[in-house]
A and B are shown apart, each in its own frame.
Chain A
Amino acid sequence: MADQRSGEDLVSEYLGQNRQLAQWVETQRSYNETSKQWVARREFILRNMEAFPSVQPGVPSTCLDRLLSLSMVWANQVFMGCSYPPAVMEKIQHMGEGIVVEDAPIFKSANSELSRGKRGAADESDAESLLKKAKTGPNEVVARATRPQKMAPPPQAPAEHQPFFNRLYKAVAWKLVSAGGFGPNLDHFEILRSCVESCKQTLTCVFVPLKDIAGLPASRTQKEGHVCEIRCHTVYLGTGYGRDEAAARAMASKEALKVFQGCKVTVKICRRRFKGRDVEDLLLLDEQPRSQGFPPALSYPFQDEQGESDT
């Protein structure tokens, strides 16, 4: 948080010293830009001015137009969900580094979900829809790095995974019926495993000793034990703690099976912590509203090399 504040302060301070520049840069604001968008874009312009040495404030030039254009590309990408050719995106990413936009809208595409029952196949996949998420909760103010593509599952992932989990949901339901219903005396892992395998998939379990997890409350850190995270098909199912790995895995399976107790399961992209950062992760959820957030992720399958390198 401190970082962002200072970024914005820096800009206003800089402009305060540079009256002429401040006046000029204000003329570049478009009529339909909100203050939030403008502040971010202004920072983008000012930060990258040096890279375009021939740009003279107040003097129209192709060079200036290029800078303005790139600033618009950046803003469109962040605020409108547009994407551009890879060469342009790369450039923008580079130029936009370090600019922090609080509470930026999130654009998801729900391709396959929406194309169902549409006017025929012609627009089978144009259902690229966006679902903007407004996060207004005060405790949820998150700073989003302006590289949404890098550290996130692909936006169409929930839709892709959903059919599999629908099948799995049914498999689990039947399995539990034959096992006499959900209860404490089951071998939860075995049930989950057989169901997943009957759906031609495998489970991924990640184990981490509890003491290796940083940032836990002091009372917990002394405890011995292991934490297990279960994923299937990169989608997070549950986390559990136990004295040994098997117990942790059983606990995690139990947590995962709890999700299957609702009317249906949904794959969603949600924010959660991973190694001290906020990331977007694919989670399997039931319909119940959640009172608390999710446990921090132990693994993160959507990391690319770039993302890895700066952690």
Chain B
Amino acid sequence: MGVPAFFRWLSRKYPSIIVHCVEEKAKECNGVRIPVDTTKPNPNEVEFDNLYLDMNGIIHPCTHPEDKPAPKNEDEMMVAIFEYIDRLFNIVRPRRVLYMAIDGVAPRAKMNQQRSRRFRASKEGVELTESKERMREEIIQRGGYLPPEEIKERFDSNCITPGTEFMDNLAQCLRYYVAERLSNDPGWKNIVVFLSDASVPGEGEHKIMDFIRRQRAQPNHDPNTHHCLCGADADLIMLGLATHEPNFTIIREEFKPNKPRPCALCGQMGHDIKDCQGVAREKKGENDEFADSMPVSEQEFIFIRLCVLREYLARELTMASLPFPFEFERSIDDWVFMCFFVGNDFLPHLPSLEIREGAIDRLVGIYKDVVHKTGGYLTEDGYVKLERVEMIMQAVGVAEDNIFKKRKEDDEGFKRRNKEKRRRIRQQEQQRQGPAYMTTGQFAPHALGRRDRPEPVQNARQQAFDMRTHHNQDAAQSLKAMMKNGNNQSAGPSSQSDGRGVKRKAEDSDSEPEPEDNVRLWEDGWKQRYYKTKFDVDVNDADFRKKVVKSYVEGLCWVLRYYYQGCASWKWYFPFHYAPFASDFKDIKGLFTDFEKDTKPFKPLEQLMSVFPAASGNFLPTTWRNLMVSPESSIIDFYPDDFAIDLNGKKYAWQGVALLPFVDERRLRAALQDVYCDLTPEEVRRNGLGSDLLFLGRSHKLFDFIHELYQAESHGGTEIPAELCHGIQGALNLDDIPILPDKPVRSPIPLLRDISHNSAIGVKFKDPSYADGFVFKAVLLSGAKIPTKVLKPGDWERGQRQPWRPQLGFNPNRQQAHLNQSAFRALSHNMNRNQNPGHGQYSNTPPPGNYSQGHYRGGQSNTHSRQHGLMGAAPAFQRQQFPRPLQPQQQQFRGGAQGWDRAMQSQQGAYQQNQSRRGAGPSGSYQQRFDQQRDNWHNRGAPQPPRQPYSSGRGGFPLPPPSRRYDWN
């Protein structure tokens, strides 16, 4: 969603929704990489059923990464994408479904945004190359050294658009990748893979939503499926909430601001292209062995738990004494709807609602006030109740004037503080008398022959402290001096520094010119000025204003419907560059009835024509490209060379509004009519609409069924038998160029080998279809179990129960490793605890590295450091004695003989359910693996934690702590 600040705002306000991923890394032994066994329980202490990948969020960073050198060619890009998917798969370890969705042709409403992004990208790209060349020349003239220019041409990220050859190759490569993994990776053995490539219309995340929505609405759906959706867009959070599935988690890269980037010219870190000096590269490591490694940490992932967000929202939105019954699920839908006001990909946000200014809190406040009067919720199943929305908008409109004034005040305040800060820093610099190497205090230089001879050091410690704090005192003094003398720097030691001050100031005053803002929303008459400057109409032109409002109202309805029911109209779009004011939403009830039915999406190449600038025309056939440049073209107006960007009160160009003309669909289609005949058969194929594909491996239960279909050559939509595939439904159709078992799959990438022993099968898949006018209900399904609460209950009484322990991961009963008394006795017998008197009772040295790597990683990461220390210190002892006392203990726990807290156990109910309902599926193998693992431990004698997360047998659960445990708190 076009709200970069949304996620930051959300994660600050609701911090517990974020859980850091535990990732098991592949090991390397004698130069051989040992892949991670993803059949093992998930180290995050939760099992996911379905993993959905919004592939565009993966393709972009893999093809033009910001923090590492770009891949050299397309093959390397593909391999990077595969590796990225592998990594995600390893973290999430889905047990049923992997769904990969690449953006297909988008609805018109989205195309305007795509268009603006691509036009900008093209413009930026050209400008970057230009400035690079200029800088290069300059540096070389100055005698600097630059690595020779790379021969490869610039990767035009615009090719990541459906219909291009690149996307077609990608689809082919992904087929190969899926077949390869299904055949060779044990973790993929039992999962179904869906691939929805760019030939299937719809945005990636919305294709995923459509899949979930359509599965949910059929009776065989498992209401407790645990979904995990990968993608960084903030609107995935909205989409996840809109499904009303109780177990929904989003995984995304952790955003770390200000990551260092290599200079685009010389490829070295630490400076920008602007400051490039062309200095020879520093040697990295003793023998330059780290030359290619980046000094940045690998990007890590975080989970966003929507069930926790739902808990937070329940607290925030629950209202007592409503004139109608309160339904939490409905209020969530309203919350999602209100977030659209603040920004989405399809509409410009209202000028008065700015997420950084707490717009959502404001809206929620207004909502809770107004909902008493509205007589009901704002939305129902994705349909908007306009008369109620109007009341909200009017309430926002009342505050509008103050919002704008406040914004200006805050802005000025911010500028003032910044200026003061700069000045303070400068003065501190000036205050420092003499050069930096001059010693101070006791060691300050003294003139010879004066009376004040240096005194001997009285108290060395004090002296050292004084010297350390000296700088601070300086700063304080200078501040005082500044306040006393105003800006006149009479306190300065020399007139020279005075001069410098004045000079600097003059420099400073012109360092930040402000863009002119003619709208001046903070002054009276703002509405008139806004309409005049932005729309070029008079404020009295009520008809025009009404038009804008009408379009915006349609937009709100369209967006909500898009999230809850799917694309209502492929044609609709918001035909203005700016939004109206909240106070303009008057009498909106009748402004919208319904969308045009049966609209069709663009064909891929048509979409390329409508989102690409002429500079990216090389992705199109010649005659088509010609339409973008020729003065004789009947659609030349869609392709300006250059365009204006209105900052619209923002600071940076990328935040501004690109003033691009809109595409006239009729004229586009008419113009393309004449050039359709110029397409090659290959292009005709690329221009066609494709189908989702389903892949699975030989050991999947559905395998034989599909194999049978191919043998019987049964065409015409066979339904999946629900019991074979976890209740997933849909129609299967034979693929024209299928991937079949025992038929070798050729590798599209020279780097990778062909699959000679293929055991995967692929077939076309179609989501279950529903009658026209079917409404997907936005409700919790019956049988859905709400996961255990994570937040501290409001009525948690300290006295009644134990102190509250925040939950950090997915597992509510995350176990800490504990030793019982006899173990402590054994330890102190074996170890002289007085060996390290300086380190307390036990050594605090962290365990050797190898302990944090093995497959215990997840389990051990939260064990107490003391245990780590112990284990690290005394491996010999553990090998011999540790497992033995533990075995009986474990059995005892399983039998429930140690009366631990029953309440704790029942809290795990949902989790338990989650595990046991796997039936004959993976859980059987868990049991097996557990036994194997146990054997392994005994054989290898590796340290064994006193518990085994998850897999202590079927029905057995993470062992609760013994009742008389050491209280770490």
Contacts and interface: CB of A to CB of B under 8 A. Distances in A.
A133 interface: yes
Interface in B644-664: 644-647, 651-654, 656, 659-662, 664
Contact of B674 (A62, A116, A264): A62
A261 interface: no
A199 to B, nearest CB: 14
Given A70-B636, A132-B518, A91 B661 contact: no
Interface in A32-72: 32, 34-37, 60, 62, 65-66, 68-70, 72
A62 B671 CA distance: 7
B515 interface: yes
Nearest to A36: B536
A129 B513 contact: no
Given A72-B661, A126-B127, A65 B634 contact: yes
Nearest to A77: B640
Contacts of B127: 123-126
Contacts of A69: 633-637, 667
B212 to A, nearest CB: 35
Interface residues of B, number: 66
B665 to A, nearest CB: 11
Nearest to B128: A122
Nearest to A136: B532
Interface residues of A, number: 61
A82 B653 contact: no
A36 B537 contact: yes
Contact of A114 (B131, B515, B544, B639): B515
A264 B509 contact: yes
A34 B661 contact: no
B289 interface: no
Given A88-B636, A170-B506, A110 B536 contact: no
B529 A73 contact: no
B652 A114 contact: yes
A134 B509 contact: no
The CB with the most chain A CB atoms within 10 A, among B264, B544, B637, is that of: B637
Contacts of A132: 518, 533, 646
B713 interface: no
A124 B515 contact: no
Given A73-B637, A114-B515, A31 B547 contact: yes
Given A31-B575, A73-B636, A264-B509, A129 B642 contact: no
A66 B634 contact: yes
A130 B644 contact: yes
A65 B667 contact: yes
Contacts of A119: 652, 654
Contacts of A138: none
Contacts of A105: 533, 536
A87 interface: yes
B591 to A, nearest CB: 14
A84 interface: yes
The CB with the most chain A CB atoms within 10 A, among B274, B503, B633, B636, is that of: B636
B670 interface: yes
Contacts of A79: 536
B667 A68 contact: yes
A126 B629 contact: no
Contact of A65 (B651, B652, B671): B671
B495 to A, nearest CB: 14
B635 A126 contact: no
Interface in A100-150: 105, 107, 109-110, 113-134, 136
A129 B670 contact: no
B587 interface: no
Contacts of B128: 121-124
Given A121-B264, A129-B656, A66 B645 contact: no
Contact of A128 (B512, B653, B662): B653
B640 to A, nearest CB: 4
B653 A114 contact: yes
Given A32-B547, A132-B533, A166-B510, A76 B637 contact: yes
Contacts of B736: none
Interface in A229-267: 263-264
Contacts of B510: 162, 166, 264
Contact of A72 (B272, B512, B637, B652): B637
A42 to B, nearest CB: 16
A85 B641 contact: yes
A25 to B, nearest CB: 16
Given A72-B637, A82-B640, A84-B640, A65 B512 contact: no
B643 interface: yes
Nearest to B132: A121
B124 A122 contact: yes
A109 B273 CA distance: 23
Contacts of B643: 80-83, 128
Contact of A91 (B261, B533, B631, B639): B631
A81 B637 contact: no
B120 interface: yes
B65 to A, nearest CB: 13
The CB with the most chain A CB atoms within 10 A, among B551, B575, B660, B667, is that of: B667
Contacts of B551: 31-32
A173 interface: yes
A30 interface: yes
Nearest to B635: A69
Contacts of B631: 85, 87-88, 91
A251 B822 CA distance: 102
B633 A66 contact: yes
B536 A123 contact: no
B535 interface: yes
B8 to A, nearest CB: 16
B645 A121 contact: no
Nearest to A159: B513
B516 interface: yes
Given A36-B537, A122-B124, A131 B518 contact: yes
Contacts of A166: 510
B632 interface: yes
A103 to B, nearest CB: 9
A124 B276 CA distance: 14
B541 interface: yes
Nearest to A263: B509
B123 interface: yes
B661 A76 contact: yes
B301 interface: no
Contact of B644 (A87, A88, A128): A128
Given A35-B544, A68-B667, A123 B124 contact: yes
Contacts of B636: 69-70, 73, 84, 88
Interface in B235-285: 261, 264, 272-274
B660 A82 contact: yes
Given A62-B634, A83-B640, A85-B629, A129 B661 contact: no
A215 B273 CA distance: 54
Contacts of B640: 76, 82-84
B646 A129 contact: yes
Given A72-B661, A82-B661, A85-B631, A134 B644 contact: no
B82 interface: no
A128 B646 contact: no
Given A85-B614, A113-B513, A123-B654, 10 more contacts: A31-B547, A34-B541, A65-B667, A65-B671, A70-B636, A85-B629, A107-B644, A115-B653, A127-B645, A130-B659
Question: Which 3 A-B residue pairings sit nearest by Cβ, starting from the closest?
Answer: A81-B644, A72-B637, A65-B634
21 contacts: A30-B575, A32-B576, A65-B634, A70-B636, A82-B642, A83-B640, A91-B631, A107-B644, A113-B513, A114-B651, A116-B511, A118-B653, A119-B654, A123-B127, A125-B131, A126-B127, A129-B647, A130-B647, A132-B518, A169-B506, A264-B510
Interface of A: 30-32, 34-37, 60, 62, 65-66, 68-70, 72-73, 76, 79-85, 87-88, 91, 105, 107, 109-110, 113-134, 136, 162, 166, 169-170, 173, 263-264
